A and B are shown apart, each in its own frame.
Chain A
C-alpha cells in the first residue's frame, strides 16, 4: 500500500479533523528546550484522539545551518534505497543518519531518516524552488517515501500518537529551539498515518492547523493552476501552499497574506479610507479563490516568524499571550497559563486578525484593518 492510500483510504473529498495547537517563540532568538511546549500541548490531550501529534522546531541544527535538513519517512527498505538514489543525483548529501528515537506509545513507526543536503549546482533555478520541486517529486512519484521536513536549521517531528508520546518517541528533550509549534490531532476519516500528522511543512514553512475549510474545493483548484499538487488532501496542505504562493512567490507581506486568507467583510472594506479600500478590494478581487472559508485556526511558522490566525468569523479558538521575550499561541488559554502563570498580557485575537511574532521585534505586528490590539 502506498502512502496516498494510507492517507485517504476511502477517497473522501479530503481529510477532516479537529485539533489542538500550541506555539511558543522567544522573540530574541534564545533557544529553549521541549519541556514547556510539550507540557502545554499535553494539557490539551482531550482535543486529540491519538491519531496524530507533531512539532516543528526552529533553530535546532545550528551546526548544519546552511544545509537543507530533509526528514524522510519510508514505508519499506526498498523505498529508502530508491529514494537515496534520487537524492544523490540531485543533492550533495553532507551527512545522514537514522533519526534518534526510543520506545514510546506510538503506532507502527516507519523508517525515519534525516539528511543534511545541498542542491547540486547545475540548475539556474533558485535553491528553494529546486528543493521544493525535488521534494514534490519524491512525495508524488515513489509512493512509499515521504519528505516531511525540508527546511534549513529547523525540523519537523511527527507521527501517529498523542503529541506527548511523539515527543517521547523522537527524544525531543535533546533538542533546543527558539520557536516551537505543536499539534494534537483528531481526524475523523483517516486511520492516521505518520505523514498525515501535523505540522505540514515545505522548505522552512510549517503549518499546524485546526479546522475544516469549507472552501477547500476552490482553494485547491486555484493552487493547481499554479502547479501545486495537493497530494495530502488536507486543509493544512492547502494553507501551506497558499502561504508559499503569496509570500515566497508573490512577495506579499504576511499581514497582507492574512487579509487574503481571512479578509474583512465588504461592509468593513467600504468604510475604509479610499487608498486602503482600493487595496483591500483589489485583494479580494484578485485572490478571492484563496479566501479560506469555514472554521480554522492556524499557527504558521518559518525562520524568524510565527503567525497565528483564525478564520474571519473565528469558528475555531486561538489565544495569545506575552511574557517578556516569549510569545505564546494556543487553542486554549489554559495551556499558556500552565507554563507561564504570570503573563504580561493575554488576549484573544479577533477573527481574521493575525498575531505576528517576529524575531528581534518585541511585541506583535498589527494589520491593515481591524487593528484593535492594544
Chain B
C-alpha cells in the first residue's frame, strides 16, 4: 500500500483525442496507455511528473495537466510538500533526491534589485544605432602595465597571464556528459562556438567527437577526476577545478550506473554500469595550500597557457575563501549560489545549504577590492540566473560574467519538472538512453541556444544603453546603477547598494 497520492492529474478531452498515441510513445514514465478494446487512451496520473511532453506533442490539444486539487488540511507548517516527503521516506528509508535548483521562494534578490537609466544630465545610448560592447576577457589581470618605446612605437613589456575571450558575458555552466545526453553536450559546444562564448564540460569528461570545439570549452576537474587526462586538459580553453556546487555544497556529483552506457563509460574512463560517485571533497585538497598545489599542477600540465578557474558553492565564508583562492593562484573564481541547478542532489541539501549568489557575489567582490586583489581574478556568478536582467544585475554587483545552465536547458525543451535524477527525461536532455536522447536534435538545439544568447545579449545592450554606458566593463561592479526595494539595512549593506529613492 502506497500512502502517496498523485501529485498531478492528467485530463484528456476524449472528444479531441484522435488515438494517434503520440502521448503514449512520448511519455517515458508510461503515464498514458492505449486500450485497443475500448479504442481509448487512458492515463495513470500517479506516474505523471508534469513535464508537458505530451501536452506539447498532442496534435489536437486534448491533454491538460493540473496539480492534484485534493489537498491535505491547510497547514502552514505541515504543508503538502512536508507530508509527502515524510511519506516517501517512510516507504523507502532513504535520502530524497531531486533535480534542478532550489524551488523555494525568499532566496532570490534579483527581483528586489532595480536598474538605473539616464535622464537629461547624461544621454542614453541607442544600441541599434551605436556600438555597444559586451566583449569580456576572463583571467588574471596585472595591476599595471609597463610599456616601452621601440623604434618610435609604444610596445607592451608586461606579459599578461592567459585570458579567454567571450563575446557576451554569458557562459554555459557545468553540465556533465552522463547527466545530460551527448546531443545536448554537442549543442552546448556548438552554440558556444558559434556565439563566441564558452561551455563547461562538467565533471564527466569530454567526448572526443567534441574536441574540435575545444577553444570554446572549459574542461572541469572534479573530485572524481572522471575523464581527466592530458588530451582533455590540452583541448580546453580553460581548466576549472570544481570544489563545490550551489545545489549541494559539500557533496560530490552522483551519476547512477544506469546512465553509464558504453560512450559515457569511455569518456568517463569507468566500467559500463558502475555508479560514478564523486567524493565529497577533493581528496588531495584538504586545505588552501593543497588547492594551490592542484592549481599549479594544472598550470604546469597546460604549460601556463590557460586560465585556471576554481568553482565553489556560495557558503557563509565565501569572501574569505575567495580571497584565499585568489592568493592561491587561481585566475577565475566561479561562485554558485543556493539556487544553482543539479541533475541529482539530496533535496534537503539543495533547499537548505548555501547562501544566495547575490549576497555571496557582493561580499566576494568587495572583499577582493578591500584587499586590493580584485584584479588577480575574474569572477563568474552562477546559480539562479533566469533572465538578461539578472545578468546585468550580477555584473553590476561585481561579476565579470555569469554561468547559465537551467536557462540553457529550458531553451532546448526542459520544463524544470525536477526529475533529472531518474534518467528518463522525456525531453531527451537529462538522460543517456539512446532512444530518448534522440529527441534532442543537435541542429535545432544549437539554434535555440544561439537564439537565447543573442536575445539576452540584445537585452543587455538595451539596458546598458539606457544607463548610458557602451562597454560592459563600465557596468562591472558599478553598484550605483542598482537600487534595492524591500530589503533590510543589513541586506543593503552586504549588497553595497542604496535603497530605491535614496
Which A residues lie at the B interface, using CB under 8 A? Answer: 11, 13-14, 16-18, 188, 211-218, 221-222, 224-226, 249-253, 255-256, 263, 265-267, 275-276, 278-279, 282-289, 291, 293-295, 312-313, 315, 368
- Shortest distance in angstroms between A171's beta carbon and chain B's nearest beta carbon? 34
The answer to whether A295 and B473 touch across the interface, beta carbons within 8 angstroms, is no
> What mask results when residues 103 to 145 of chain B are scored 1 for a CB within 8 Å of chain A, else 0?
0000000000000001001110100001101010101011111
The smallest beta-carbon distance between B482 and chain A, in angstroms, is 9
B470 and A313 contact, CB distance less than 8 A: yes
Which residues in B have their C-beta under 8 angstroms from that of A188? 121
The CA-CA distance from A215 to B125 in the complex, in Å, is 13
User: Does B297 have its Cβ within 8 Å of any Cβ on chain A?
Assistant: no
Report whether B467 and A214 are in contact in the complex, using a CB–CB cutoff of 8 Å.
Answer: yes
- Select A285's contact among B118, B137, B374, B477, beta carbons within 8 Å: B137
Residues on the B chain within 8 Å of A278, using CB:
156
Instruction: Select B477's contact among A221, A251, A253, beta carbons within 8 Å.
Output: A221
Contact of B121 among A16, A222, A287 (CB under 8 A): A16
A293 and B468 within 8 A (CB): yes
In the assembled complex, which residues on chain B have CB atoms less than 8 Å from the CB atom of A13? 480, 498
A312 CA / B468 CA spacing, docked (Å)? 12
Query: In whole angstroms, how far apart are the Cα atoms of A126 and B64 in the complex?
Result: 78
Contacts of B476 in A (CB 8 A): 218, 288-289
Expressed in whole angstroms, the Cα–Cα distance for A266 and B481 within the complex equals: 24
Does chain A have a CB within 8 A of B190? no
Report yes or no: B145 in contact with A282, Cβ–Cβ below 8 A.
yes
Which residues of chain B have C-beta atoms less than 8 A from A263's C-beta?
471
The one of A225, A255, A266, A368 that contacts B369, using a Cβ cutoff of 8 Å = A225
B173 within 8 Å of A (CB atoms) = no
| Beta-carbon contact of A225 and B121 below 8 Å | no
Q: A212-B122, A214-B474, A291-B471 are in contact. List 11 more A-B contacts (CB 8 A).
A: A16-B121, A214-B118, A214-B468, A221-B477, A222-B477, A282-B156, A284-B137, A285-B160, A294-B469, A295-B468, A313-B130
B135 CB contact (under 8 Å) in A11, A226, A266, A279:
A266
Inter-subunit contact A218/B474 (CB<8 Å): yes
A-B contact pairs, 11 of them (CB 8 A): A17-B121, A211-B122, A214-B474, A217-B481, A218-B473, A222-B477, A285-B137, A291-B471, A294-B468, A294-B469, A313-B131
Whether B155 is near chain A, meaning CB under 8 Å from some CB there, is yes
Q: Which of these, A211, A279, A315, contacts B155 with CB under 8 Å?
A: A279
A294 B153 Cβ-Cβ under 8 A: no
Q: Which positions in B face A, CB cutoff 8 Å?
A: 118, 121-123, 125, 130-131, 133, 135, 137, 139, 141-147, 153-156, 158, 160, 163, 369, 372, 374-375, 467-471, 473-481, 498, 502
Q: What residues of B have a CB within 8 angstroms of the CB of A222 in the complex?
A: 477
Taking CB atoms, residues of chain B closer than 8 Å to A294 are 118, 122, 468-469, 474
Which residues of B sit under 8 angstroms from A249, Cβ to Cβ? 144
- Shortest B101–chain A CB gap in Å is 29
Q: Are A283 and B154 within 8 A (Cβ)?
A: no
Q: Contact check, A214 vs B133: say whether CB atoms are below 8 A apart.
A: no
Q: Give Cα distance in the complex from A225 to B366, angstroms.
A: 10
Contact among A265, A266, A293 for B469, CB-based, below 8 A: A293
> How long is the Cα–Cα vector from A266 to B145 in the complex, in angstroms?
19
* 8 nearest A-B residue pairs (beta carbon): A288-B473, A217-B480, A215-B474, A293-B474, A214-B468, A217-B478, A212-B122, A218-B478
Cα A295 to Cα B474 in complex, Å, equals 13
Instruction: Assess whether A18 is in contact with B121, with CB atoms less than 8 Å apart.
Output: yes
Contacts of B477 in A (CB 8 A): 217-218, 221-222, 289
Smallest CB separation, A371 vs chain B (Å): 12
Assembled-state Cα–Cα distance A218/B133 (Å): 17
CB nearest to B374 among chain A residues: A225
The CA of A18 and the CA of B120, in the complex, are separated in Å by 11
Hey, which chain B residues are within 8 Å of A215, CB to CB?
Answer: 469, 474-475, 478
Known contacts A188-B121, A265-B131; A286/B142 CB under 8 A: yes
A283 contacts B121, C-beta separation under 8 Å? no
For A224, A267, A285, which residue has the most chain B Cβ atoms within 10 angstroms?
A: A285
Known A-B contacts A212-B121, A313-B470; the reply to A275 vs B141 at CB < 8 A is: no
Question: Bound complex: CA of A13 vs CA of B496, how far in Å?
Answer: 12
Give the nearest-CB partner of A290 in chain B. B473
The smallest beta-carbon distance between A248 and chain B, in angstroms, is 12
Asked if B144 and A315 sit within 8 Å, CB to CB, the answer is no
Bound-state Cα–Cα, A289 to B474, Å:
6
Most buried by B among A221, A250, A289, A368: A221
Give the chain B neighbours of A266 by CB distance below 8 A.
Answer: 133, 135
CB contact between B470 and one of A225, A276, A287, A293 (< 8 Å): that residue: A293
Residue of A nearest to B167 (CB): A266
CA distance A106 to B406 in the complex (A): 62
